[in-house]
Structure 1
């Protein structure tokens, strides 16, 4: 499917939006959510207040945008088609590993954790606009595989949580908590492969799409 090429004005608007989101994220980390004004964000992003308010009428709307863009997969691909659980989980796992490896994902969680006591709505936004939609896409994929007969999963919520948790517990959480923790691209790929092996060993039905040593 061909992509629609944005016009000059659309490209300019997208660039300004990205500048605003970047400036807001940095200020939220430095000054806190409450201590950051929209006027300061406009100044740091190099846009007028009118431009900022046109894009984001409130600070909450701006934070929602940070969440949405942090969880965006870029290509906005749908979950893989059912039929081969190894290939499908590998694609999902690589996408998840790439998401968690982004610096803006770590920044987002740090903002939410720091502001949770005073602004629990930020955690709700992170959960409802970011993590939960992604989780639902993985859950939907596993349910489709179950209906196709390639896996036997009685609790798709638990299976999705197990699979994503195996990746995030190595790739993401230490980065958030341990200074200097870095995970190479090669290591992320290895972590994903092992998560796929473990999940298919537990849930894959015998037949096409089940895991075998290759």
Structure 2
């Protein structure tokens, strides 16, 4: 008979997992992917190698977990549902959530790891693309598909529209951070960028003001 772990043991396991991921991210950034071993991660996280191997049997599995968690907003996990039937409200919710993702601690570091190691470990880029960026992008595209079906937006290419919307936000909020280590626009400036991106999308694709 299988015994379910107690709440205490689940909490301890979650704490150890978080410590492992935090230590691994720091080591990957400092020493590179190749220069970081699972043994070093275990030591830095303060856990035994057996504990680490139980949760992450390979370095690739550990990196995949880092990517997946980096693209998940803790407050809503996978349950985020932007309001439908109102293009402005839905895109505003998506835009604000995207800002939360892009500005969370470690996101820029994760991109730097992938970019630095890409020539030697192209699988890191693939993991980041398939496990992080694309699932999020697809969620935005699906939202636009819904608005298109409801008639609140008229889009011939929802993939392009999703690229345009996310790009307007990331180009200000995130990408300068990759070159300017102290890039940190204030909340008001970021909110303004999101609002303007929403208005651009509404003007281009919205049907609320369309006359027959």
Q: What displacement does 1:82 show?
A: 2.0
* Structure 2 partner of 1:30: 30
- Taking structure 2 as the reference length, the TM-score comes to 0.93
Structure 2, unaligned runs of 5 or more:
1-5
Out of 96-105 and 150-159, give the one that drifted further: 96-105
State the alpha-carbon separation in 1 of the partners of residues 105 and 10 from structure 2: 26
Q: What displacement does 1:96 show?
A: 0.1
* Structure 2 partner of 1:152: 154
Q: What displacement does 1:103 show?
A: 2.4
State the alpha-carbon separation in 1 of the partners of residues 110 and 183 from structure 2: 17
Secondary structure, counterpart of 2:110 in structure 1: helix
* Structure 1 partner of 2:108: 106
> Which structure 2 residues correspond to residues 1-80 of structure 1 after superposition, within 5 A?
7-74=7-74, 75-76=76-77, 77-80=79-82
Structure 1, unaligned runs of 5 or more:
1-5
Residues 1:174 and 2:193 aligned together:
no
1:126 alignment partner, one of 128, 153, 159: 128
> Residue 79 of structure 1 contacts residue 137 of structure 1 at CA under 8 Å; is this kept in 2?
no
* Structure 2 partner of 1:3: none
- What whole-Å deviation, never above 9, does each CA across 1:1-42 have from its counterpart, x for those lacking one? xxxxx8111111001000000000000011110110000000
State the alpha-carbon separation in 2 of the partners of residues 206 and 192 from structure 1: 20
RMSD: 1.2
- Taking structure 1 as the reference length, the TM-score comes to 0.92
> Residue 79 of structure 1 contacts residue 138 of structure 1 at CA under 8 Å; is this kept in 2?
no
1:197 alignment partner, one of 189, 199, 212: 199
> Residue 88 of structure 2 contacts residue 202 of structure 2 at CA under 8 Å; is this kept in 1?
yes
Q: How many residues align?
A: 203
State the alpha-carbon separation in 1 of the partners of residues 27 and 135 from structure 2: 26
State the alpha-carbon separation in 1 of the partners of residues 181 and 39 from structure 2: 32
State the alpha-carbon separation in 1 of the partners of residues 142 and 159 from structure 2: 10
State the alpha-carbon separation in 2 of the partners of residues 37 and 206 from structure 1: 55
- What whole-Å deviation, never above 9, does each CA across 1:115-168 have from its counterpart, x for those lacking one? 000000000000000000000000000000000000000000000000000000
* Structure 2 partner of 1:185: 187
> Residue 83 of structure 2 contacts residue 89 of structure 2 at CA under 8 Å; is this kept in 1?
no
State the alpha-carbon separation in 1 of the partners of residues 174 and 80 from structure 2: 23
Out of 80-89 and 20-29, give the one that drifted further: 80-89
